[in-house]
Amino acid sequence: MLCKDATESAVLDRVHAFDLIRGFSVISMVLFHYCYDLRFLAGVHLDFFAPPFVDIWRASISWTFVFVAGSMYSYSHDNLRRAGKYLFVALLIFVATSVARVDIPINFGIIFCMGACTLTTYILDRLRILPKGIFGAVVLALLFLSSLHVPQGYLSLLGQRVFLPRGLYDCGWLSWAGFPGPSFSSGDYYPLIPYAFLYLSANSLTTHVKKSGFPVWFSKLKGAPLECVGRHALPIYLLHQPVLLLLSLPFMG
């Protein structure tokens, strides 16, 4: 059945390709989490589910989510509300995973990341210092790549590691920003740094491209089933893990 959202369908300048890309990533996420549950919760031997493949797979999902969320910033009519919704859902996820204790609770996960990035972008937008254009997108993308290992304590600059002050991590109050404290743990960790740079880069690029129009091939890229999944990514994210746990039960000893 073709799935439509009346409000979103009314947006005349909607680029359906973003829904399609996000839908593909949602399906990839579900498969990734099922493999995770089978491997680490049910104890099933999955030889392929190991580094570096698992790291590349995980990044392909999360980076796409953040990039598409950043691209959608200029399409949203109320980004403050959008940020609040993400952050509220992130809080619910933290509470639910802390109570369930099936695995490590999710603290500052991907939903928090998209909320924090949206709020940060909103603030920069209100201050009229939001980066825009191709140059800004490239610089922000380079900042993202350079700060990928900030949670591990260092920046990567021209192949060299620049270690950051330990005080940023020892204080224990900056885990949300990308400086996890000594006792911090999370089953899904996507802090503001480095991912805000990716989000801002996506927004900068998309805002620029919108002015001249997306390439014809991109604008015409459609796929109703994947678009439907992409438009309902958040509820699928909330519901898929309990379903996967049930599907994993037969494999548990």
Return the beta strands (E) in 149-223 as ranges: 154-157, 160-163
Kindly state the DSSP code that residue 161 receives in the 8-state scheme.
E
pLDDT band at 253 (very low <50, low <70, confident <90, very high): low
pTM: 0.92
User: Which uninterrupted H or E stretch holds 171?
Assistant: none
Sequence-distant (6+) residues with CB within 8 A of 232 are 3
pLDDT of residue 6: 37
pLDDT 10s digits, 217-249 = 887 888 889 999 999 999 999 999 999 999 998
Number of domains observed in the structure of the chain: 1
Q: With 50 as the cut, is the pLDDT of residue 4 above it?
A: no
Q: Is residue 201 part of a domain?
A: yes
Q: Is residue 47 part of a domain?
A: yes
Token reading at 227: 């678009």
Burial class (CB in 10 A: 0-12, 13-18, 19+), 224: middle
Amino acid at 50: A
pLDDT 10s digits, 10-47 = 344 668 899 999 999 999 999 999 999 999 999 999 99
Q: Is residue 31 part of a domain?
A: yes
pLDDT of residue 14: 67
Q: What's the average model confidence in pLDDT over 189-214?
A: 95
Amino acid at 215: P
pLDDT band at 159 (very low <50, low <70, confident <90, very high): confident
Per cent of the chain over pLDDT 90 is: 83
Sequence-distant (6+) residues with CB within 8 A of 49 are 35, 36, 39
Q: Is residue 208 part of a domain?
A: yes
In angstroms, the CA 30 to CA 13 distance is 29
In angstroms, the CA 77 to CA 149 distance is 34
Q: Is residue 1 part of a domain?
A: no
Q: With 50 as the cut, is the pLDDT of residue 1 above it?
A: no
pLDDT of residue 3: 43
Of the candidates 174, 206, 166, the one whose C-alpha atom is nearest the C-alpha of residue 67 is 206
List C-alpha distances in Å: 9 to 14, 19, 80, 101, 153: 8, 12, 21, 39, 44
Return the beta strands (E) in the chain as ranges: 154-157, 160-163
Q: With 90 as the cut, is the pLDDT of residue 135 above it?
A: yes
Q: Is residue 4 part of a domain?
A: no
Q: Is residue 46 part of a domain?
A: yes
Per cent of the chain over pLDDT 70 is: 94
Q: Is the dihedral of CA 105, 107, 112, 117 positive or negative?
A: negative
pLDDT of residue 2: 37
CB 178 within 8 A of CB 151: yes
Q: What is the mean pLDDT of the chain?
A: 92
In angstroms, the CA 86 to CA 76 distance is 14
Residue 150 sits in which domain range? 15-251
pLDDT 10s digits, 104-126 = 999 999 999 999 999 999 999 99
Write down the H helix ranges in 15-78.
16-36, 53-71
pLDDT band at 82 (very low <50, low <70, confident <90, very high): very high
| CA angle (1 as vertex; 16, 9 as ends), nearest 5 | 35
Q: Residue 194: is the preceding peptide bond cis (ω within 30°)?
A: yes
In angstroms, the CA 220 to CA 9 distance is 15
Token reading at 247: 């599907």
- Look at phi and psi of residue 158 and say left if phi exceeds 0, alpha if psi is from -120 to 50, else beta: left
Q: Is residue 222 part of a domain?
A: yes
